[in-house]
Chain A
Amino acid sequence: MTSKVTTMRDAVADIVRDGDTVAIEGFTHLICFAAGHEIIRQRKRDLTLARMTPDVIYDQMVAGGVANKLIFSWLGNPGVGSLHAIRRRIEDHDPGPLEIEEYSHFGMVCRYVAGASNLPFFPIRSYYESDIPTVNPKIVPMTSPYDDADEVYVVPPLRPDVTIVHAQRADESGDAQIWGLLGCQKEAAFAAERVIVVCEEIVEESVVRRDPNRTVIPGVVVDAVVEQPFGCHPSFAQGYYDRDNAFYLDWDRIARDPETLETWLKEWVYDLASHADYVEKWGDAHWDALRPGESLSGEVDYGRYA
């Protein structure tokens, strides 16, 4: 199998194009901030950013000027409050308007499921007596073909041009293993035209093959593999480092003021050459403080059937 291993700089330069629909997925867990920062650094433009929860990463990317549209289901700073750069764009058109297209969580998940399954739409029992369909005409009521009294809503497939996911480990061909919260990374990856897998560690293929149930995304749908330790910070990688809740709180202060935000982007993104520099800038003590204790899963016996 040929190696797909590359650098973040080359992966983003080759795979993310101006005007693309990009999904950096991961629900609280495994959000690849390193990829978002590289997209800002390379000054990509006119992106449509899709994510269930835009989170601080899309607040940073919107502030960095890479996006003109958001597709989402929950637009906040989890456990903290608002995403101020995005709110300024929506409420005050400052520094310009931002187009939005919103769903519920299940609606977003099922958009990826439809995209990944090559379906024209996906039926769900959501949106009854909600105003959401009145502001998003892509959410459409439909009567069951088997029961005239049974009405569902359908959502359209979402097929990102690029999906970027972070995994704890992957091999050189992109077979990616994830544990902890799984979010909708699998669905978003299978739905996408092109996929970048970023991981904490690149491992031998034999490591993956020893525990195939843990493989969430197979290399067959992956175009590039990037090893990027601490690539999710301030999000987390289960078993590797904790969520940096203090940074999520601090982002509220940083993002409230456009000048403070711009200074932060300059210091932590534009003036750094890569995520390795970002890791070094935070310093070892920061990473030591985020390291969790140990909780091993134990092992299972797959059996040998020679």
Chain B
Amino acid sequence: MSADVSADLGYSKSEIMIAASARGLAGARNCFVGVGLPNIVCNLAQRTVARELQLVYESGVFGARPERLPLSIGDPTLATGATAITSMFELFAYYLQAGLIDVAFLGGAQIDRFGNLNTTVIGSYDEPKVRLPGSGGACEIAIHARQILVIMRQAQRSFVQQLDFRTSPGHSGDPAHDAARGWHGSGPTSVVTDLGTYGFDETTGEMTLLTMHPGVTIDDVRSSMGWEPRLASDLGETPPPTDEELRLIREELDPAGVYTK
């Protein structure tokens, strides 16, 4: 059991983020998996709500069946037993750019209210305060995957009014513009944080708080973001992780607590 499991609730913030995100993959088929939490989210979904889920990694793996929890998106356990291993050109051109990917996970150092993401710099580009990794495949995944799921911890410095740099596009704030883009992707559809879950308003494309995790208050949410959040009219509570989800996370997927600590 990980160190930060709440005595009252019986699970940690990471565990409810993982469980809530995995449920968002119900019925999904071809999923582009990122580094970190998405790794365990996808592996949990494959054992619960999305049995047909094909795990796709930008390292060129389609249909991975990892026997251990991969520690990077290029872990050798992803290659052994996979459906296919392609060159990176094929993966990005034939699988992603051509529209085969149903859903993908992205995250970042900063997100704005329309789901635009910054993974490039904090501060100015030429004189950065913090140099972040950059795009990797994120800016193209954001365009081509049919829907984008975001997992991020929530804080004033990460949920910002204005990005320092837009690496990957989300919604523009102008629905007519978004509809005319002609991309395979419809942009971010869900954001799961350590405080709650968000969808995006169909008219404005704005992030909308759908549920708060048990024990979280609206003041907790407000004080952890740089704008006044839009609230769903039927704002509810996130269902806690089930015993089975917790068992899978703790016993099968991450017994060492690499992702859940």
Contact = CB atoms under 8 A, between A and B. Distances in A.
Interface of A: 27-29, 52-53, 72-76, 78-79, 82, 86-87, 90-91, 102-106, 109-110, 113, 124-132, 135, 180-184, 186-187, 236, 238, 242-243, 245, 292, 295
20 contacts: A28-B73, A28-B75, A52-B88, A53-B136, A74-B133, A74-B135, A78-B72, A103-B135, A109-B88, A109-B89, A126-B97, A126-B139, A126-B140, A126-B143, A131-B166, A181-B74, A184-B88, A184-B89, A243-B72, A243-B75
A113 B59 CA distance: 17
Nearest to A151: B182
Interface in B155-190: 165-169, 172, 181, 183
A238 B77 CA distance: 9
B59 A181 contact: yes
Main secondary structure of the interface of A (DSSP, over half): loop
Contact of A29 (B76, B87, B120, B130): B76
B100 to A, nearest CB: 14
Contacts of A243: 71-72, 74-76
A103 B79 CA distance: 26
The 7 closest A-B pairs by CB, nearest first: A28-B74, A74-B136, A76-B133, A129-B169, A79-B72, A106-B92, A78-B72
Contacts of B144: 125
Interface in B72-125: 72-76, 78-81, 85-89, 92-93, 96-97, 120, 125
B72 A28 contact: yes
A218 to B, nearest CB: 15
Given A102-B134, A130-B135, A181-B78, 4 more contacts: A75-B134, A102-B135, A126-B97, A182-B60
B143 A73 contact: no
Contacts of B172: 129
Nearest to B184: A125
A135 B134 CA distance: 12
A216 B86 CA distance: 12
A301 to B, nearest CB: 21
Contacts, number: 149
Contacts of A79: 35-36, 71-72
A82 B144 CA distance: 27
A76 B107 CA distance: 15
B128 A91 contact: yes
B137 interface: yes
Chain B residues touching A, majority SS:
loop
- Chain B interface residue number, banded: 35 or more
Contacts of A126: 97, 139-140, 143
A115 B85 CA distance: 23
A183 B214 CA distance: 43
A135 B79 CA distance: 35
B131 interface: yes
Given A126-B143, A128-B181, A105 B75 contact: no
Given A79-B35, A105-B136, A128-B169, A27 B143 contact: no
B249 interface: no
Nearest to A112: B89
Contacts of A105: 58, 88, 92, 135-137, 140
B112 to A, nearest CB: 13
A118 B14 CA distance: 49
A245 B86 CA distance: 24
A73 B135 contact: yes
B167 A132 contact: yes
B81 A78 contact: no
A28 B134 contact: no
A27 B166 contact: no
B71 A245 contact: yes
Contact of B87 (A73, A132, A187): A187
Contact of B59 (A28, A104, A125, A186): A28
Contacts of A29: 59, 74, 76, 79
Contacts of B78: 181
A86 B130 CA distance: 12
A183 B128 contact: no
A179 B75 CA distance: 14
Contacts of B58: 105
Tell me which of B35, B79, B86, B97 has the highest count of chain A C-beta atoms within 10 A of its own C-beta. B79
